Structure 1
């Protein structure tokens, strides 16, 4: 169920319920920001709050409020929310903590949260356990603390689950216009995605930034991404935390490669949301998106009046997905005319200081660099501190850059190598001239790379394949796993089962040599000495079987002409969907850590692109005169695995093929593993043979890290205003 958050986020009237310092702060902040609607305090005994006359009861309000800040204890919050909903209120911010986040400590958190949701009904609420939001467009602040922002006519929205992080972001001095800063808290009713969609619905919002601790409702995030795509509003995100899934690999290599971090990155990439790795990069990316929008490519041109700075840019770019486009003949001619014969022409360009303060020559230089087929130009310029220096001599850089930008139409950023050398007043001047001020070289390059990924985003992908929550997981035997996958089109070797060394030798003769012999009893059979390869005759099979001393044996025809080995695995990630991992396979999986992750469902084109991104891709294409692997056969193997996962999505935990032996004419699964639901839902082939792999042991979830909570005390008194540590 979705909620109409319009009245709550853009209110014309606000009620403030409670008497703590946080409630007084809400009133004061609305007054300071020039909110032009009424703000009505509600308190049973105080005649006024923040200099504004108070009503004793909600029923005494002169009208139904569009938004309410509820700053009372958790039990009273439930009662107040119920009354607001009955009155037809537009929505509420629930400040108090003590709900689901304290279930382990108090034992009543779940029940109280359920009661809060029941009381709210169809009325939207944000929180509980959150600060609320700041609407800088209309001066409406349901916000119980100081902040560093100012009124704007248009800007970006930033949404986080953390109130502390939200406060910090309002204190930025980077020239980023903030339209909204909002927190989600527990997200009991309305999560990040739903609030985010309501924020981008405001035509004055240009881009959305997310700080994500947990994705939550996958379908809601799909809806947010689709809405943003339809509105042409880019979304960028900082995803926090690494899940225990990445460490809980009990059976497969896939689990260690496709942990929550890989799943999160794959999910955001699929949804067309640019991912960044720091708060400062988030801010710089949003600034770039606000002023220039998504970039058409990651090809850049950089200019500096110092060889040291030009080298610094080149070195810094090696860690980011950006490309310096070589200069063409026309650019070289134009640069030579502007700079003379003493300057070495390259990208990045050290244009020296010969033309400094010669605005026409500087503009010609910058325009020549912007004339190439690039997504953006970067002009490195660090401004002096204004308290001790005269910055007037740097005006020429802004003026010339603006002329070049206007002449070419190519976005141009002025980049300070140090954040301190781009004062906020300077950023405003730069932006006012149609340019992009970026603070800090590393963050600037990361922002350009992120904006370029958004420019390359295509149409909306197919809906996610949602995972189930299977119980009593157990591993199918290798034989059963291969049979299950073969039923969906996977190619597997001809094989036979044996219980003695002599039976194994006879089975090998029937299959035809050479063969592979495998023992039972371990998930990772190679490490346990339970695999013997390329056995050429019956005696070799007998000796290998006797050495293994296994209760059961699997004999398979050896796959020759292998060009490369791949791992193809799917892992259920409850937070992000089913994560498909493509990686170097066999014994090299953990050594190379060469992998790519995608979220199901995938297309053959997406699989092929991911394979080409692997370091072992040259082996698949044909390396040093060897023939290429059969790409169509590899694609069929991946699609067969996807078909199996789709069929068993509600019961499946993971499925892995490792290795998939890739030859010039086929792609054959030499080993397979499946973990699926309990015996009552087990795949029917799981009981056909006595062959059994290792058992599985699901690890309990680790304790969640504690978060600072907002805790008006139960009873009559209220706790002190929760300031940051």
Structure 2
């Protein structure tokens, strides 16, 4: 159920329930930040404007902070819900997050949810939130936030990380800081979606420990896309997928947090690796709203800095395009013949202190083909040096933005060499201050990420994990063939000679009932005679065999697999196939259902794609046949969602004419069981 969180997050009246320093701090902080609404205190002792009971309040508050023990919290929530409160923050811990230490925690959480009814609650076990737009703080501790007119919203599942992020000195205006606790009722994605209704929010950052209901995240991503507000994330933790991996190469390739990354990719949420990069990206998004491309320019007065900018971008999805004729003419007119014109640009130091020429030169590199122009400036520390002459360069950067209308950022190679006062000054002028070159490049890459259009809802892995059974290779192939997978001509039985007569030559002989046939010596390729088939069968550790036609003219071998990830849905993995799977670890992962064009793009990102396209004059594989095979595997999973645990084709033999499943595996819940 989607709840209206607007009253809670943008309150005009606040009730603080409880005693002690925690609750006193909330009232004090609201007053300091200039909250214009009503604030009431509730405590059994009453006195001095304090109400002894919630029912004594003048009217139902828009928001309540409940700073009492977990048992009393449940009682307070019930009363608040009954009188029509807009929502509450539950500060107390000891609910489901403590169930491993206290068996009553889960039961108490159920009671809390029942008491809340339709009233939104944040937590339990959370610090609440800071609304720096309206000066409303349901927040019981220190913080570094200040009143802003607009800014970014940050949501975390860690109260301590939230506190630390408010202390940043990077000139990032934080409009909302929200802690989500254990999200007993209202999910992180639902809170973020509610914040999108506030037009003063310029971007959203989420610190995610676990996704929970994926449909909430799909709704959030679509709403953000419609509103033109970008979302970035830090995703921590690992799924159980790696531990659940058992028999297939796919399960190994899709281990760790591959599913989590696939979720973020699908939703168009850029993922950052560190808190500094997270903050710098939010800052860039706050000013620009997102970059139209990954094409940038860099300006510095040092060849070393120009090289450093290029090297820092290397390996990232960031491009320094060559200068066009117009840029070269304008730069040459400003800088003269002694400067080598390139991007990144070293403009030399002889124009330093001349703001007019600096503005002219830097404006020359701004161009429609450039999404962001980086001006590299490290401000000397003011306690030991005189940074005043850098004001000319800062004014030139602002003038470039104002005169050209292009997006401009001032970047310090070292984070500490862009003081907060300078960053504030740039931010107020529409120039992005970026602290640290490495984090700046991560921010550019993230801000330039394409946000995909809405896709069909994710295929959800319902139920709990349990053991499954592995079908025989022949049965797996027959199942997949019914959905369109091309399989070789084959025959099964205990008499290899009879099988050879049925299939014809050349053929492949496989021992049945063996998962990893190559390692067990249970596969023989390219057999041309009955005698060769007999000898091969005698050397295999089995009594039953599968004979198949030998697929010739193979351009490339691929792995196509699907694993059931309880946290993230069904993960479709594409990788180099055959014996190269483990050696290359070359893979791409998507979530089901995936569009054909997205699968095509993922295939193109494989290193193995060079073989598919035809390497060194060899014939190319039939790309459409490969896509047909992948879509057929996906169709099988969709049709058997309640039972499927793993599916793998390895290798898919790709020829100029067709794509054939040479080996297949299906692991599923037995017909008499349920996932």
TMscore range, shorter length: over 0.9
**Is 2:435 the counterpart of 1:435?**
no
Equivalent residue number for residue 648 of structure 1: 640
Equivalent residue number for residue 37 of structure 1: 37
Equivalent residue number for residue 407 of structure 2: 411
The answer to whether the 8 Å contact 1:271/1:461 transfers is: no
Alpha-carbon distance in structure 2 between the residues aligned to 1:433 and 1:203:
21
Unpaired stretches in structure 1, ≥5 consecutive residues? 683-697, 699-725
Equivalent residue number for residue 20 of structure 2: 20
Equivalent residue number for residue 489 of structure 2: 494
1:277-356 to structure 2, matched below 5 A, reads: 277-356=273-352
The answer to whether the 8 Å contact 1:468/1:651 transfers is: no
Alpha-carbon distance in structure 2 between the residues aligned to 1:359 and 1:609:
46
**Aligned with 2:594 (options 574, 596, 602):** 602
Could you tell me how far 1:71 is from its partner in structure 2?
A: 1.0
Aligned length: 674
Task: Kindly provide the CA deviation profile for residues 420-439 of structure 1, in whole angstroms up to 9, marking residues without a partner as x.
Answer: 00111000111122211000
**Is 2:208 the counterpart of 1:215?**
no
Equivalent residue number for residue 476 of structure 2: 481
**Aligned with 1:393 (options 389, 393, 407):** 389
SS for the counterpart of 1:650 is coil
Equivalent residue number for residue 357 of structure 2: 361
Task: Kindly provide the CA deviation profile for residues 475-500 of structure 1, in whole angstroms up to 9, marking residues without a partner as x.
Answer: 1111111111111000011111122x
Alpha-carbon distance in structure 2 between the residues aligned to 1:581 and 1:341:
54
**Is 2:581 the counterpart of 1:585?**
no
Task: Kindly provide the CA deviation profile for residues 199-237 of structure 1, in whole angstroms up to 9, marking residues without a partner as x.
Answer: 111111111100110011111111111111111111111
Could you tell me how far 1:316 is from its partner in structure 2?
A: 0.7
Equivalent residue number for residue 466 of structure 1: 460
What RMSD in Å do the two structures reach over aligned CA positions?
A: 1.4
Could you tell me how far 1:16 is from its partner in structure 2?
A: 1.0
Could you tell me how far 1:247 is from its partner in structure 2?
A: 4.0
Task: Kindly provide the CA deviation profile for residues 282-314 of structure 1, in whole angstroms up to 9, marking residues without a partner as x.
Answer: 111110011011111101111110111111111
Alpha-carbon distance in structure 1 between the residues aligned to 2:407 and 2:102:
55
**Is 2:442 the counterpart of 1:446?**
yes
Task: Kindly provide the CA deviation profile for residues 603-633 of structure 1, in whole angstroms up to 9, marking residues without a partner as x.
Answer: 2211111111110111111111111101111
Q: Which moved more, 1:82-91 or 1:251-260?
A: 251-260
Equivalent residue number for residue 549 of structure 2: 557
Task: Kindly provide the CA deviation profile for residues 340-395 of structure 1, in whole angstroms up to 9, marking residues without a partner as x.
Answer: 22211111111110111111221122112112512111111111122222221111
Q: Which moved more, 1:439-448 or 1:425-434?
A: 425-434
1:372-391 to structure 2, matched below 5 A, reads: 373-391=369-387
Could you tell me how far 1:330 is from its partner in structure 2?
A: 2.2
**Aligned with 1:200 (options 172, 196, 199):** 196
The answer to whether the 8 Å contact 2:460/2:569 transfers is: yes
Alpha-carbon distance in structure 2 between the residues aligned to 1:592 and 1:535:
28
SS for the counterpart of 2:562 is strand
1:78-157 to structure 2, matched below 5 A, reads: 78-157=74-153
TM-score for both structures, normalised by structure 1:
0.91
Q: Which aligned segments of 4 or more residues in structure 1 are displaced greater than 4 angstroms?
A: none
Could you tell me how far 1:407 is from its partner in structure 2?
A: 3.0
**Is 2:528 the counterpart of 1:533?**
no
The answer to whether the 8 Å contact 1:260/1:573 transfers is: no
SS for the counterpart of 2:41 is strand
Could you tell me how far 1:46 is from its partner in structure 2?
A: 5.6
The answer to whether the 8 Å contact 1:579/1:598 transfers is: yes
Task: Kindly provide the CA deviation profile for residues 250-276 of structure 1, in whole angstroms up to 9, marking residues without a partner as x.
Answer: 111111111252211221111121221
Higher relative contact order (CA 8 A, sep 6+): 1
**Compared CA separation, residues 446 and 539, structure 1 to 2 (3 A):** same
Alpha-carbon distance in structure 2 between the residues aligned to 1:623 and 1:555:
31
Could you tell me how far 1:525 is from its partner in structure 2?
A: 1.6
The answer to whether the 8 Å contact 1:334/1:365 transfers is: yes
Equivalent residue number for residue 165 of structure 1: 161
TM-score for both structures, normalised by structure 2:
0.98
The answer to whether the 8 Å contact 1:130/1:163 transfers is: yes
SS for the counterpart of 1:628 is coil
The answer to whether the 8 Å contact 1:518/1:554 transfers is: yes
Could you tell me how far 1:245 is from its partner in structure 2?
A: 1.0
